[in-house]
Structure 1
């Protein structure tokens, strides 16, 4: 370990001005000494953030070397105004984007290990001994100006400086005073933070190829880590390549550092993110918690890298459904970041939204709304019109939708859509989600034309951006098919559902739950068209798929059984209908519990069949079980549903000729109806309720 070649760019920060270390003035006759003085003076002022003096020193060094750099541009580097108004952002465009679920990365507060060669180079004795020409000396100066440009958010100028340094370094007949690997790292880092990921990937691959057998192995590990980060952040993450590079980097770093080093913690944290994106949450937590331990031990409990890992671990607990632990980690993240970054920071807004989501999932709607409101306020202050603001608005819309407050939900969705259209590409998938959510509200209100218009707009975006055969197109077609079904336009509905089925079969094959869903929808339409045999075939194929994929104790299996029973009833085959209803009850009770509303519905139709067959005691048993569940689940002392069940029971007593029970039961039903404010004349002692189908309607709006 001690024999390992030191990195070319390693240096100890200056503690005193280089002027205090200069030789006597007579020695300045040596141009190399003058050059080293100017370079080191520039480095000193750069480390002191005195950019005007720093660039002045570097400019004089270039003049001494006979190198030119645009004087207007170089003078601008010394100005005190940054090109980026957000000090938290490393990108000159301030549009860092959202990188999967780890939004807080790709900015300089949190370390992914991407800027390994981030220090300027002094011309010490070792460096001077490797310089034999003006061009070789210029490599160092251009490299240092590039570092200054990076700090000033002048990425174009930084790239130019590093490119000139790279050209000169590759032209050297012997080892360059600055490694081409270090220069390539900085060029790749600029490309990365400007979200030019493919370019950055190519640059870091070049850096890997530039290593020699004598190169510093820790620098090699840093390059592997950077490649892993880039594979992870690609629009379609290459998780296998990311993991391979991270694992190799971790192995080298542990070999040299042991377990207790910040770079080991960084790599562990990065590996955790790969496991997270693959849905391997337990493995992700193993790496996150070890990274957290190392970072707390070495950096202290209040470091922003500690906060980053807290965020990641909390997010993983959130995905696992351990909401209390997730909330604990989120709150710790806030404790660290708010004092360091300020209340009005984008990451504070993101965390407030994450915390709100936990309360939202726990149905603590008031707490959730308060935090969503804070997230929205902070997000607007930190970001203005931004996709993150739109996301918060959409989540607020979802909450109002779940509460049945469609007016408030519509307002938030429309606000979110306005932001998305202002800041996102016109074909961005988030816009289709919001259009679908708004369409869902219009559908719930029975405003079918308005809903269809929104679904068609969403469909147009999906077809243009994804192609006509993408599974997301099938989802929107299914929404449109349901609208036509509810509007009794059965032929249109059938055409649309069949197109959705074709797309899903082509995309997924025969045995897929989405295929089963389309078959169920087609069966419903065929029944309405009077094509009972074809409907039965569609339902049976859907049942086969769902049983094979979900087992015999799943709600979706029960729904198909229920629909099959309905066809049997329509055909007059009460025996087969009864078998299906009993099987439906078995599945529902196993999947949902004995007191679920689906159980109530199936019991009601089972009782109806018993009545039609004259099996009155069995009918009474079913209705009494319905009554028990309704009374248990009802929060109101007077419930119209209970009154209607009593009405059904009275009808059975009427068929039995039990006049006393008819009178007492109907009296109670009438009393309850009056208490609810509904018309008691609705209750009748004749006829049966018409049976119907089980149709799965979305319970929640889609999340943006």
Structure 2
């Protein structure tokens, strides 16, 4: 008790007093009093044998400060069913067929002590004179090298072991299956998925011949085959394999065994990549429930599960839950991993992605920079994850409108990826794609088109013809053609994107909605409003199935439908759609977000067209207030707001206020747009109309003349 009470003086300690209840008739565990032989003559000490097991009873606080506890223990009964189940399972999983040093080596591998295990097997190798007896040692040395990341050395050892096994063992011997399994894992780690699949299928064939149908090793084979198919992008075959692995493990393992958690986790990853987020979430939640029962609270595997759940919530658009899950993953990893461990970099990266999607760009940038700093410490300068960090930082700068820094970051990502990846690797395609997006937003459409076409060329070489990233490239090329005014090419590209996405994605996948949305925008610009409306309604229907009811993307769809109804002259329906967009945006976006400004602007246009000038003015002023907070002072959208306010004042007969607003619109447009831009001409024209109504015909004539000059400059040279 004195030792336990010492914790009261140290804030970093908690005192524990164990009270042990022992019934010698219940257990064969050996214990004895050592009072007469102990160094501490005044202590009445009892020595227990190493395998003695106690069952924890209740735990009670012994003071008011929760610094001292009493824990009641009872010596476990030899006939305790739970204890027997656990010990039987431990015996089965701790290499019962191995003996002596060989068994110790396997323990050390399981514990992650690869260098110590290697020393043991090297001693065993030196002591082995029979060449045939060296095969299992080669096999274990291969496992060690694989765990150390030295895959080519691992493969060399396995290749030494294989001919010996083929010569000395039956063709369906389980040890031969283990070897093929290990070879498959090496090829998998090296990214050679075809050879990995061939090796794992050989292992499976042997195990099907030599083992009971519910043997756990069959589960291992199906699991590994599933991992290979997943990495090859064949999600349906991956899912089928993982389901077989799960069925076997449910028959052969306890309900809280970690391997069941692994199966659920792997199925969750497959469902996630298939876009079936509810099933992915359910699988990952089952995985974490098992892990919480069977693993310590700071075990890295729990961090992985929290990470995976965070990824699903992120893709479902539930960013608060995604953030909470990733923060839990980060907390576990900070306690269990080295400060420069790559998984910490992954957590910072994923938190950065969530903040990015929440439009909190400063926090997103901060976390991506933390991820980059860790990766620069722990990874080679050409490691692909460094490329990913530069890529993500580029995306943040892109969204912050800092295109120069975005372009620099994406160039860094491209440089890393060109050094570390094959010339047709999909990540190179992603870099070209992102550089294309930056040029697109800088208004350099020819460069944007060039980079998107490079991305498409790589993706055609490296991905299946129905891969979603091909759909992304066609989509982006369509956006460029759309902004270049080439609507037929834009429509063709968006329809190509849709054709790829329809067979490869779930019917409610958000990317399908994106394609329908973009096709709707093209039809809208071509003046085909019925087709535009049909496309936007399809986009909305998909989003309503797959996204939360207040997701910003739903607001975008309602907004686009409102624009179509407005152009069709159906102002009540237009107003209804824009008001729905506004409600969603008010709930899901910051109060100064530019999309809120867009909604107020569009509502203002509808009220103006309905002749309700006071409501139109109020809406446009709301739009202007938001845009003044969220946009640079020379942003074209500010010019649009001043222009629209000017139109309302004109219609209300307040020419002085109308003139002031149109002059502000013109000043912004002259600063931010080319001199021959139609909006500049529109401002000259609107000011001319005002001067004419104010009977100042000289100024009216001057501004009309400037409007005509702008129109003439914008006409084709021929």
TM-score, normalised to structure 2, is 0.65
**Separation in 2 of the partners of 1:681 and 1:24?**
100
**Is the aligned partner of 1:547 residue 2:579?**
yes
Instruction: Please give the secondary structure, in 1, of the residue aligned with 2:297.
Output: coil
Cα displacement (A) at 1:311: 1.9
CA contact (8 A) 2:639 2:664 kept: no
Give distance in 2, aligned partners of 1:310 and 1:388.
Answer: 20
Among 201, 205, 215, which residue is 2:239 paired with? 201
Q: Compared with structure 1, are the counterparts of its residues 545 and 317 closer, same or farther at alpha carbon in structure 2 (3 Å cutoff)?
A: closer
Report the equivalent of 2:564.
521
Q: Would you say 1:305 and 2:347 are equivalent positions?
A: no
Question: 2-side partners of 1:214 and 1:440: how far apart?
Answer: 54
Change (3 A) 1:280 1:497: closer
SS state at 1:321 partner: coil
What does residue 395 of structure 1 align with? 434
SS at match of 1:337: helix
Q: Is the 8 A contact 2:348 2:371 kept in 1?
A: yes
8 Å contact 1:224–1:248 — kept in the other structure?
yes
Indicate conservation of the 8 Å contact 2:620/2:644, yes or no: yes
Q: Cα–Cα, structure 1 residues 405 and 8, in superposed 2: closer, same or farther, change >3 Å?
A: same
Kindly report which structure 2 residues correspond to 1:471-510, keeping only aligned pairs within 5 A, or say none.
Answer: 471=513, 474-485=516-527, 493-494=528-529, 496-497=531-532, 499-500=534-535, 503=538
Worse-superposed segment, 139-148 or 553-562 = 553-562
Aligned pair in 2 of structure 1 residues 278, 170: CA closer, same or farther (>3 Å)?
same
Equivalent in the alignment of 1:597: 639
| CA shift in 2, pair 1:197/1:646, >3 Å | closer
Contact 1:478 1:500 in 2 (8 A): yes
Contact 2:494–2:519 under 8 Å retained in 1 = no
Mean Cα deviation higher: 509-518 or 226-235: 509-518
Gaps (5+ residues) in structure 1? Answer: 29-33, 69-134, 486-492, 527-534, 569-575, 656-661, 671-678, 685-704
Give the CA deviation at 1:582.
Answer: 3.3
Q: Distance in 2 between matches of 1:361 and 1:236?
A: 27
The answer to whether the 8 Å contact 2:268/2:283 transfers is: no
Is 1:268 the equivalent of 2:326? Answer: no
Matches within 5 A, 1:632-643: none
Aligned to 1:559: 602
**What root-mean-square deviation, in Å, do the aligned CA atoms of Structure 1 and Structure 2 show?**
4.5
8 Å contact from structure 2 (residues 639, 668) kept in 1: no
Kept in 1, the 8 Å contact 2:497–2:515? The answer is no
- Matches of 2:438 and 2:693, distance apart in 1: 43
- Flag the 1:368–1:545 CA change in 2: closer, same or farther, 3 A: closer
Cα contact 1:623–1:648 (8 A) shared by 2 = no
Query: C-alpha separation between the residues in 2 aligned to 1:461 and 1:231?
Result: 27
Matching of residues 78-157 of structure 1 within 5 Å: 138-153=173-188, 154-155=195-196, 156-157=198-199
Is 1:654 the counterpart of 2:690? The answer is: no
1:648-695, Cα deviation, whole Å (9 max, x unpaired): 66545537xxxxxx99xx5xx99xxxxxxxx878269xxxxxxxxxxx
The Cα of 1:604 is off from its aligned counterpart by 2.2
1:374 deviates by 2.0
User: Are 1:167 and 2:206 an aligned pair?
Assistant: no
Check 1:332–1:58 CA distance in 2 against 1; reply closer, same or farther (3 A cut): same
Indicate conservation of the 8 Å contact 1:292/1:310, yes or no.
yes
* Alignment partner, residue 619 of structure 1: 655
From the superposition, tell whether residues 406 and 208 of structure 1 become closer, same or farther in structure 2 (CA, over 3 Å). Answer: closer
Partner in structure 1 of residue 266 of structure 2: 229
- Listed one character per residue, the Cα deviations across residues 39-86 of structure 1 (whole Å, up to 9, x for unaligned) are 345424653546555544454345333x13xxxxxxxxxxxxxxxxxx
In structure 2, list runs of 5 or more residues that go unmatched. 1-52, 55-82, 96-105, 110-116, 146-152, 189-194, 587-595, 708-718
What is the rounded CA distance, in whole Å, between the counterparts of 2:331 and 2:544 in structure 1? 46
Q: 2:333 aligns with which of 295, 309, 318?
A: 295
Structure 1 residues 150, 460: closer, same or farther in 2, change over 3 A? closer
- Give the distance between the partners of 2:212 and 2:290, measured in 1 at CA: 27
SS at match of 2:695: helix
| Alignment partners' CA distance in 2, 1:634 and 1:379 | 41
1:466 to 494, 502, 519: 502
List aligned pairs for 1:315-330, cutoff 5 A.
315-330=353-368
Rounded to whole Å, the distance in 1 between the matches of 2:693 and 2:127 is 116
8 A contact 1:232–1:239 mirrored in 2: no
Equivalences, count: 551
1:309 shift after superposition: 2.0
Q: Is the 8 Å Cα contact of residues 435 and 455 (structure 1) preserved in structure 2?
A: no
Q: SS of 1:142's equivalent? A: helix
CA distance in 1, matches of 2:128, 2:668: 97
In the TM superposition, what is the alpha-carbon distance from 1:168 to its structure 2 partner?
0.8
Could you tell me which residue of structure 2 aligns to residue 125 of structure 1? none
From the superposition, tell whether residues 39 and 388 of structure 1 become closer, same or farther in structure 2 (CA, over 3 Å).
Answer: closer
Matching of residue 607 in structure 1 with residue 649 in structure 2:
yes
Partners of 1:158 and 1:385 in 2: CA distance: 27
Partner of 1:407: 446
Rounded to whole Å, the distance in 1 between the matches of 2:262 and 2:626 is: 46
Equivalent in 136, 146, 153 of residue 39 of structure 1: 136
Q: Which residue of 2 aligns with 1:60?
A: 164
The question of 1:588 aligning with 2:645 is answered no
Could you say if the C-alpha distance between residues 250 and 264 of structure 1 is closer, same or farther in structure 2, counting changes exceeding 3 Å?
A: same
Could you tell me which residue of structure 1 aligns to residue 713 of structure 2?
none
Aligned to 2:711: none
What is the aligned partner in structure 2 of residue 92 from structure 1? none
Distance 1:168 1:384, change over 3 A: same
Q: Match for residue 99 of structure 1?
A: none
Matched, 1:12 2:108: yes
Partner SS for 2:298: coil
For 1:24 and 1:408, the matched residues in 2 are separated by 67
- Secondary structure (helix, strand or coil) at the match of 1:309 reads helix
**Distance in structure 2 (CA, Å) of the matches to 1:389 and 1:25:** 49
The answer to whether the aligner puts 1:350 opposite 2:388 as a matched pair is: yes
Secondary structure of the equivalent of 1:367? helix
Does residue 318 of structure 2 align to residue 280 of structure 1?
yes
Contact kept, 8 Å, 1:143 with 1:183, in 2: the verdict is no
| CA distance 1:368–1:52, change in 2 (3 Å) | closer
1:368 deviates by 1.5
Higher RCO (C-alpha 8 Å, min separation 6): 1
**Alignment partners' CA distance in 1, 2:688 and 2:565:** 35
SS at match of 2:339: coil
Q: Is the 8 A contact 2:303 2:332 kept in 1?
A: yes
Check the 8 A contact 2:513/2:538 in 1, yes or no.
yes
SS of match in other structure, 1:380: helix
Q: Is the 8 A contact 2:142 2:154 kept in 1?
A: yes
Q: Displacement of 1:300 after TM fit?
A: 0.6
Between 1:584-593 and 1:198-207, the stretch displaced more is 584-593
**Structure 1 residues 290, 184: CA separation in 2 closer, same or farther (over 3 Å shift)?**
same
**Higher percent of residues as strand:** 2
SS state at 1:12 partner:
helix
CA distance in 2, matches of 1:587, 1:243: 40
Would you say the 8 A contact 1:435–1:454 is kept in 2?
no
CA distance in 1 between counterparts of 2:311 and 2:695 reads: 67
